[in-house]
């Protein structure tokens, strides 16, 4: 007689399922968030008591309670100032970034009614009826609601979670996400790039080796990533995108069109704006399956056709295609080399979006998994691996740094230690030395960017290494190590090799760069490449001139008059003065020639100083004693 294994509804039928560790995958989205887990060997998104899988990323605050999700979204119409929407755009950002976006980002049309102010730590706060709230705290409330849903479905607390983030999130934005999870009481196993999660969800790790393009157009952010699959290893070749571009912007474009049709010219109140935005979203969603659709506002009925919608959103789609071109160029990949094209994000339901992106890449995209669920599903698969349920899994996920990391060196120059698009996690070290005689401390300035000068890069952190032995310039060996973990977070360590003294810092800035700023920094590095190289060469020669001047003046002061006649002494003094004049000029060749001239003039002086040093060192020793020394 055959034995059948019986399981309760919603429970795994796998043997020893009770031994499986609970783990969740969370897609913390701009407009909607989801939570998923593995049911046996099948990933599944978890719904609330009403059967809804998507949780609107909206939080409403009143004096006595916090509401998350659909009810909060409905409250936004009547009380928009106390209803936090699309806060993912503010993660790891400061007030200046938000103001900059509002005034300078021509691509984004989104405006927010909130009253922003900067806390002492640089974080952005928004005033609510429940007091000031940061994007981290709002995100923590969303994560708490998702975790409650997951715990109810699985009957217990998880061992850990994987949370997805846009591929272009920098270290500050990633850290803000981890902080939100910590406040929500969740153990983060890993932050996973959303495009990588999508590839995992489609099981592309089981396919033949090849290049995968992930086009992710969500409610508030846009990402495009190129991944290479090689023997089960996912490597992110390049990433790009815009954290201030998404379906929200589509809604605002439609809302502006509605205002024109309704002859609304005066400033909308926050409540009126929210009503029109809801109608705009309804139009956008309906036109993904209908040729025309109508909505009613204040007893006026307005119709919009799919063709009209396509015309409205076309400029925004062009922006995303430009980002695709940049990513292909960064990766050194032709669009014809892409083997798979994956569409992610609710905004990719638009047939026009799919059509234009398929046209650009020359192939039909993968769309058979719900684009709203695909990222959470991939996160759940990875969480199941990391929590230990599949220890034999050979799937490896590798991401990349969006910008180079380095240190400030003498002359205001940047020495890059880890270059942009380097695969992480990574540990890389480089040795530096002292510039002045007797230097016992070193100030270490950590920078991010692609330009050659400190002034053109972003400062991440500063710390000091003290206790360096007093030595002549250039004798000390300071090893500086950069460590970037799998979540893209940076730690910097400095150690003087002879004494073992060390110092370190974990870079957790209070705010980060948005995708537009990162793109601008990369573009500026290309545009200014030739002038930057020339400027770096000039500064290096000026630094070398400073070193020559300082060391030669010190030597002349020490024993110049004892070892040189008046003519030789004055000749070196005049040459030093001439080098000082030349070094202030912007001529690399002139400085180099003057340094070479001084080198020739000082050769005899250097030889006499060496002889004098040897004579002093050996003075007072007999020949027998010298033999013993040798």
| Active-site amino acid positions | 27, 88, 194, 216
- Residues 259, 252: Cα–Cα separation, whole Å: 10
Contacts of 320 (CB under 8 A, 6+ apart): 215, 217, 222, 224, 242, 245, 357
Element (H, E) at 265: none
- Pairing label, strands 478-484, 502-507: unpaired
In 3D space, the residue among 237, 234, 238, 235 whose CA is nearest the CA of residue 395 turns out to be 234
- Residues 243, 166: Cα–Cα separation, whole Å: 8
Strand stretches in 135-273, DSSP E = 160-165, 188-193, 210-217, 222-230, 233-242
- Residues 46, 147: Cα–Cα separation, whole Å: 10
| CB-based contact 89:102 (threshold 8 Å) | no
| CB-based contact 123:175 (threshold 8 Å) | no
- Residues 192, 167: Cα–Cα separation, whole Å: 8
The DSSP code sequence of 501-533 is -EEEEEE--SS---HHHHHHHHHHHHHTHHHHH
Q: Give 299's DSSP letter.
A: T
Q: Give 555's DSSP letter.
A: H
Contacts of 180 (CB under 8 A, 6+ apart): 28, 91, 136, 137, 139, 140, 143
Cis peptide before 425 (omega within 30 of 0): yes
Q: Which residues pair with 125 in a beta bridge?
A: 117, 134
| CB-based contact 335:360 (threshold 8 Å) | yes
Complete edge-to-edge strand list for the sheet that includes strand 413-418 = 413-418, 405-409, 441-448, 458-466
Burial 408-429 (b: 16+ CB within 10 A, else e): bbbbebbebbbebbeebebeee
Query: How many Cα atoms within 13 Å fall on the side-chain side of residue 627?
Result: 3
- Pairing label, strands 396-400, 233-242: parallel
| CB-based contact 34:162 (threshold 8 Å) | no
**Chain position carrying tokens 């040189």:** 564
Contacts of 486 (CB under 8 A, 6+ apart): 190, 191, 397, 399, 424, 425
Element (H, E) at 373: none
The token pair at 551 is: 């060391």
Number of H helices, E strands in the chain: 16, 28
Going from the C-alpha of 4 to that of each of 7, 13, 19, 20, 81, the distances in angstroms are 10, 10, 20, 21, 57
Q: Which long-range contacts (CB under 8 A, 24 or more apart) does 544-549 make?
A: 544/591, 544/595, 545/579, 545/580, 545/582, 545/583, 545/591, 545/594, 545/595, 546/410, 546/583, 547/435, 547/473, 548/579, 548/595, 548/598, 549/576, 549/579, 549/580, 549/583
């Amino acid at each position: 007689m055959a034995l059948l294994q019986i399981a309760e509804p919603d429970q795994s039928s796998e043997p020893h399922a009770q031994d499986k560790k609970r783990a969740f995958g969370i897609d913390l989205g701009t407009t909607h968030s989801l939570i998923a887990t593995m049911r046996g060997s099948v990933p599944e998104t978890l719904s609330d008591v009403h059967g809804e899988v998507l949780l609107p990323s909206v939080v409403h605050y009143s004096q006595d309670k916090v509401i998350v999700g659909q009810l909060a979204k409905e409250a936004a119409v009547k009380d928009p100032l106390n209803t936090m929407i699309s806060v993912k755009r503010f993660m790891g950002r400061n007030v200046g970034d938000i103001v900059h976006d509002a005034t300078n980002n021509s691509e984004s049309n989104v405006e927010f009614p909130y009253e922003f102010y900067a806390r002492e730590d640089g974080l952005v706060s928004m005033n609510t009826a429940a007091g000031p709230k940061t994007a981290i705290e709002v995100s923590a409330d969303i994560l708490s609601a998702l975790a409650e849903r997951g715990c109810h479905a699985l009957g217990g607390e998880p061992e850990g979670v994987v949370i997805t983030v846009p591929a272009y999130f920098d270290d500050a934005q990633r850290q803000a996400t981890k902080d939100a999870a910590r406040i929500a009481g969740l153990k983060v196993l890993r932050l996973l790039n959303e495009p990588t999660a999508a590839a995992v969800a489609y099981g592309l790790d089981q396919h033949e080796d090849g290049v995968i393009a992930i086009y992710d157009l969500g409610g508030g952010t846009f990402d495009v990533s190129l991944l290479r699959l090689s023997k089960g290893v996912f490597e992110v070749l390049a990433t790009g995108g815009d954290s201030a571009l998404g379906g929200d912007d589509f809604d605002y474009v439609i809302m502006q069109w509605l205002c024109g049709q309704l002859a609304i010219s005066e400033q909308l109140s926050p409540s009126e704006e929210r009503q029109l935005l809801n109608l705009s979203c309804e139009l956008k969603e309906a036109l993904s399956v209908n040729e025309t659709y109508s909505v009613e506002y204040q007893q006026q009925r307005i119709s919009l056709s799919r063709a009209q919608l396509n015309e409205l959103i076309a400029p925004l789609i062009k922006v995303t295609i430009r980002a695709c071109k940049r990513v292909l160029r960064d990766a050194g990949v032709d669009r014809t080399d892409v083997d798979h094209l994956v569409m992610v994000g609710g905004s990719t339901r638009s047939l026009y979006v799919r059509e234009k992106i398929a046209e650009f890449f020359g192939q039909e995209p993968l769309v058979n998994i719900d684009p709203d669920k695909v990222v959470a599903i991939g996160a759940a698969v990875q969480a199941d691996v990391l929590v230990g349920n599949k220890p034999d899994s050979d799937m490896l996920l590798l991401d990349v740094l969006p910008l180079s990391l380095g240190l400030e060196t003498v002359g205001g120059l940047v020495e890059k230690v880890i270059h942009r698009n380097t695969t992480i996690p990574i540990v890389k070290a480089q040795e530096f030395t002292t510039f002045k005689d007797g230097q016992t401390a070193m100030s270490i300035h950590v920078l991010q960017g692609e330009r050659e000068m400190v002034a053109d890069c972003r400062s991440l952190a500063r710390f000091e290494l003290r206790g360096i032995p007093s030595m002549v310039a250039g004798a000390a060996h300071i090893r500086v190590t950069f460590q970037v973990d799998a979540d893209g977070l940076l730690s910097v360590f400095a150690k003087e090799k002879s004494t073992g003294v060390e110092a370190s810092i974990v870079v957790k800035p209070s705010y980060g760069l948005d995708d537009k700023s990162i793109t601008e920094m990369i573009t500026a590095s290309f545009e200014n490449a030739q002038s930057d190289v020339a400027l770096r060469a000039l500064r290096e020669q000026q630094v070398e001139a400073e070193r020559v001047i300082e060391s030669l003046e010190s030597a002349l002061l020490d024993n110049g008059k004892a070892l040189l006649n008046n003519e030789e002494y004055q000749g070196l003094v005049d040459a030093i003065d001439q080098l000082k004049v030349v070094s202030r000029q912007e001529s690399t060749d002139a400085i180099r020639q003057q340094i070479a001239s001084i080198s020739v003039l000082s050769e005899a002086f250097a030889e006499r100083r060496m002889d004098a040093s040897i004579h002093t060192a050996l003075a007072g020793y007999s020949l027998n004693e010298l033999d013993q020394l040798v």
